[in-house]
Structure 1
Amino acid sequence: MASLLDELLLLAYDDTTGKCRTSYLNLGLGGAIVLELTLAQRIDVVDKKVVVIDATPTGDALLDERLAAIANDKPRAPRTVVERAGKGVRQRVLDDLVARGVLRHEQSMVLGLFPSHRYLPADAGIEADVRFRLSNAVTVGEAGNARTAAIASLVYALQLTKVAFPGRDQRATRKALKRITEGSWASDATRKAVEAAQAAVMAAMVAATSAAAGSSGGS
């Protein structure tokens, strides 16, 4: 089964250029890890802090590394957990998708000096599936399952609406994604944890944007 990290990365990378279309993918992947661990009932948000409620390994090496790191740390705010969880993840997910034959890696040199990397579709099945599920969810107004709602929450948080829904009315689509994110959880505890993860991604994006603007203004 494809993970939320697989799905988010495939949505974020352009199928023609092989390049990433968001500056905040690392934060999104951190959010995907938090959501995966939440759906697996390994972590929860208690008193606005992320805590481990079950340290049993999931069987996924990357998720288990991050789960152990969270367990060995003190409880922290979701934003901090998301930022830390996403560090160093993108290349691992890309390499895994290449190894599985989902993407193909092309490398070239720009001006004969600088390496350029492109990641292009080799097997479109996973991306086609997530796009279909997202499109259907927005059309009918509900996700149908928690995993579709989770990827919808990441698309909403990262403002990837144009990427995931080309040709659709963007304002109406974002409203639909917001409704899906708020109303697609079987338990109140899961809903709160997912909302915290989504809010953490959005807060980290705002902080990163502000920091970049400050750095630019001071140069």
Structure 2
Amino acid sequence: MSLAEEFLLLAYDESGAPLTDGTHLDNGLGGALLLELALAERVDVEDKRVVVLSAAPTGDALTDQALSMIVSLDKARKPGHWITKLSKQARPRVLEKLVAEGVLTVEKDRVLWVFPRTLYPPATGEQPAVEAEARERIRAAVLGTGPVEPRTAALCALVAATELDRKVFGDLDRKKVTARLKEIGEGSWAATAVRKTIEEIQAAVMIAIIASTTAATAGSSA
């Protein structure tokens, strides 16, 4: 299960509705794809720019498509550029993959009997096992102490950057969760280079969300 798939499952409730707005969700998915490539040692962040380490496929179609986009551009760009670009079509593609794999299903309804809405509830009617495993990992990380393995730390970084921690850890003490997520982000749980890359991408996700929100607000008031 890729980081993008785990993040999306965490971002939807049991009814199949998203727990956050499109700006946070889409930029989080863009960041997840970039983090997946970093953890797979296909890209790195050097001098504030994303550089390609290897063009070898990862085996995941969505991740490899993201890698191809980065490889095809000769000029190195900042993480924020790629997060914005990768976020454009990430959500429908990840949802389509999860539906095709039988993890989620598709339901149509109307809000107030007027506005059409598409929901993506669990196909079995219960929380998918892959989502439960992801929740268990990040919850154990937040409730625990000491080092956290890189993939779990990356997922924690995405949850924190998109403010999903308010939903995912809603039953826990807010101050303790915030402090622990910060500790995980700054901890010596991985090689310095890996940790730095995750920090850079987490920061870029947060900046992309702010930029998108500001642009939308400006557009609506124009």
Question: TM-score if structure 2 supplies the norm length?
Answer: 0.91
Structure 1 residues not aligned, in runs of 5+: none
Three-state SS of the structure 2 residue aligned to 1:102 is coil
1:107 matched to which residue of 2? 108
- Report if aligned partners of 1:157, 1:202 keep a CA contact under 8 Å in 2: yes
**Residues 11 and 127, structure 1, Cα contact 8 Å, conserved in 2:** yes
**How big is the shift at 1:130?**
1.1
Structure 2 residue 74 is the aligned partner of structure 1 residue 70: no
Return the alpha-carbon distance in structure 2 between the equivalents of residues 197 and 110 of structure 1: 36
Contact 1:51–1:75 (CA under 8 A) maintained in structure 2? yes
TM-superposed deviation, 1:180:
0.7
SS in 2 for 1:103: coil
Calculate the aligned-residue CA RMSD, in Å. Answer: 1.7
- SS of equivalent to 2:138: helix
Q: Which amino acid aligns with 2:140?
A: N
> Structure 2: any 5+ residue segments left out of the alignment?
none
Question: What's the % identity of the aligned pairs?
Answer: 47
Counterparts of residues 43-122 of structure 1 (less than 5 Å): 43-73=43-73, 74-109=75-110, 114-122=115-123
- Please give the secondary structure, in 2, of the residue aligned with 1:181: helix
TM-score of the two chains, using structure 1 as the length reference:
0.92
Alignment length (residue pairs): 216
- Aligned residue for 2:130? 126
**2:9 is matched with which residue?**
10
Instruction: State the partner residue of 2:187.
Output: 183
Give me the whole-angstrom Cα distance separating, in 2, the residues matched to 1:112 and 1:173. Answer: 39
Runs of 4+ with deviation above 3 angstroms: 109-115
Aligned partner letter, 2:19: R
C-alpha deviation, 1:85, in angstroms: 1.3
Aligned equivalents of 1:171, 1:125: Cα separation in 2: 29
| Greater mean alpha carbon deviation, residues 151-160 or residues 58-67 | 58-67
Shift of 1:111: 7.0
The corresponding residue for 2:201 is 197
Deviation at 1:144, TM superposition (A): 3.1
Checking the alignment, whether the CA contact within 8 Å between 1:110 and 1:116 is kept in structure 2 is yes
Please tell me whether residue 21 in structure 1 is matched to residue 25 in structure 2: no
